[in-house]
Structure 1
């Protein structure tokens, strides 16, 4: 739903490595990159991007939810993120308090940001419909 989100990180090298590995199962790849103060654009489908840059101050935690095409991608994101150094903030599973088919996983990244992958379909079809809400 967004064009791009850009936020500062306290350790550019660590955060770049974390996000590239953790988001790979969701089809996110590195794009344009400049000096750490400019940062890197992490590109996914649909033209939206997540941008990181080196900041002097540690930012307040953000919650970023990324669309997954399948429940398997949510699972893969979670395991990749933990392997990349993320901390568990909610294992993959249904979250019926959001809605009956809300399948998500949550990890905390290097700067304390809550990163979520979510699929809204009742089963894992070849693709999920667009997120609404």
Structure 2
């Protein structure tokens, strides 16, 4: 079981704003910020819920290509809202909301590329 995951971003402020808007429909927001004075040079923000950060962004390193992260949504409507919010925040469509039955019959997901090109997904596994 994973506790948390982190990705490096090229522009911390831009990515912080993107993820705040894109993840809000999923009930995910900044749970913790660590500034450069505490780390010796890089800034980090942990997104999560109920005070527990589980997805971190940080600057100060090389941005890795090919990163994919999927966030669990409570409903298909939340997947739709994530997709709209992510596009409004500057994300690029990488797969409109819809069923992906090749994963399983109730797999409902949407995909966007964040400002660094990371493939970000919201997925709901419940039938509606």
Going from structure 1 to structure 2, the CA distance change for 1:2 and 1:38 (only over 3 Å counts) comes to same
Q: Using the alignment, how far apart are the partners of 1:117 and 1:24 within structure 2?
A: 12
Structure that is richer in strand per residue: 2
- Please tell me whether the aligned partners of residues 31 and 42 of structure 1 are also in contact (alpha carbons under 8 angstroms): yes
What is the aligned partner in structure 1 of residue 67 from structure 2?
62
Aligned to 2:4: 4
After TM superposition, the structure 1 = structure 2 runs for residues 1-133 of structure 1, keeping only pairs within 5 Å, are: 2-35=2-35, 37-44=42-49, 47=52, 49-123=54-128
Runs of 4+ that moved beyond 4 A: none
Question: RMSD in angstroms over aligned alpha carbons?
Answer: 1.6
Unaligned runs of 5+ in 2: 37-41
TM superposition score normalised by structure 1: 0.86
Structure 1: tracts of 5 or more residues without a match: 124-133
Post-superposition Cα deviations, 1:88-116, rounded to whole Å, max 9, x if no partner, equal 00000001111111000000001110000
Instruction: Select between 2-11 and 87-96 the one with higher mean Cα deviation.
Output: 2-11
Q: Greater shift after overlay, 75-84 or 3-12?
A: 3-12
Q: Distance between the aligned counterparts of 2:52 and 2:30, measured in 1?
A: 13
Aligned residues: 123
8 Å CA contact retained: 1:104, 1:117: yes
Calculate the TM-score normalised by the size of structure 2.
0.89
